[in-house]
């Protein structure tokens, strides 16, 4: 062990090897950090983007079923046919829940009847959604939605505004059940993280082996040089 340590110390004293090790170790340590801080959020953002696009398509389809045109959303527009189509969409698009709000934030329809008649008084609805912005949040199991409801699954809560130019007509709120997709994504990320950690560990060990070997060569060369200098000193002494 002391021999290995001596070799590493000898290698460290050589500027070229020292700087090379510093750069290599920094790169190895940075890769897992880059993976967790940059790549993983990007995967989650990609999932949200895909589901948001589907939500806009679903909301547009429901708007056509209602025959809204440029009419403000109200409870009179809800008929059995709309409920039937929404139930089909709920099944086909893995919707955990769907709501329909008028421009004031009143829930005029929901697949959960207890929500009907309630107002959304939160600022994000009246400031963001009412301004035409699609608003979403990833809610994990047993966490709370933007309206303070605890969910039993991983869902993506999305508000899709219905606009007539710049006039706010109302909004759909769609809860997409993404439990399986999120689980698959997390599994992929965990496998990628484990692989990156294993690769980083392997490279670190390889670097230590290379540094140890380089240190051994440095010490050996130094020993040979010392021996030559010693012989030269002896020869010089003999000539005198």
pLDDT in tens, 136-185: 888 887 878 888 778 778 888 889 898 888 899 999 898 888 888 778 87
Give how far Cα 160 sits from Cα of 42, 164, 210, Å.
Answer: 22, 13, 58
What's the CATH class of domain 48-184?
Answer: alpha beta
pLDDT of residue 13: 72
Q: Which residue has the tokens 């895909």?
A: 50
Residue 35 has pLDDT above 60, yes or no: yes
Question: Which letter does DSSP use for residue 140 in this model?
Answer: -
Question: Domain residue spans in the chain?
Answer: 2-35+199-239, 48-184
Q: What is the pLDDT of residues 47-74, one digit of tens each?
A: 778 877 877 777 777 777 766 667 788 8
Task: Look at residue 240 in the predicted model and tell me its pLDDT.
Answer: 61
pLDDT score for 7:
66
Query: Which has the closest alpha carbon to 93: 53, 146, 147?
Result: 53
């Amino acid at each position: 062990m002391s021999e290995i340590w001596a070799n590493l110390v000898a290698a460290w004293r050589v500027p070229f090897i020292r700087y090379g090790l510093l750069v290599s170790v920094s790169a190895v340590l940075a890769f897992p950090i880059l993976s967790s801080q940059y790549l993983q959020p990007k995967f989650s953002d990609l999932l949200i983007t895909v589901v948001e696009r589907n939500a806009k398509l679903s909301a547009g389809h429901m708007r056509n079923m209602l025959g809204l045109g440029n009419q403000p959303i109200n409870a009179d527009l809800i008929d059995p046919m709309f409920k039937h189509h929404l139930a089909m969409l709920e099944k086909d698009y893995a919707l955990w829940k769907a709501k329909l709000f008028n421009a004031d934030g009143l829930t005029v329809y929901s697949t959960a009847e207890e929500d009907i008649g309630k107002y959304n008084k939160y600022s994000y609805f009246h400031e963001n959604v009412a301004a035409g912005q699609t608003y979403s949040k990833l809610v994990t199991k047993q966490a709370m939605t933007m309206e303070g409801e605890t969910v039993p699954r991983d869902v993506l809560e999305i508000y899709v505004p219905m606009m007539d130019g710049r006039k706010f007509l109302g909004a759909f709120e769609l809860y997409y059940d993404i439990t399986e997709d999120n689980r698959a994504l997390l599994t992929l990320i965990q496998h990628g993280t484990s692989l990156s950690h294993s690769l980083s560990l392997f490279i670190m060990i390889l670097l230590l082996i290379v540094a140890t070997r380089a240190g051994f060569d440095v010490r050996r060369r130094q020993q040979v040089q010392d021996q030559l200098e010693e012989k030269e000193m002896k020869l010089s002494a003999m000539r005198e």
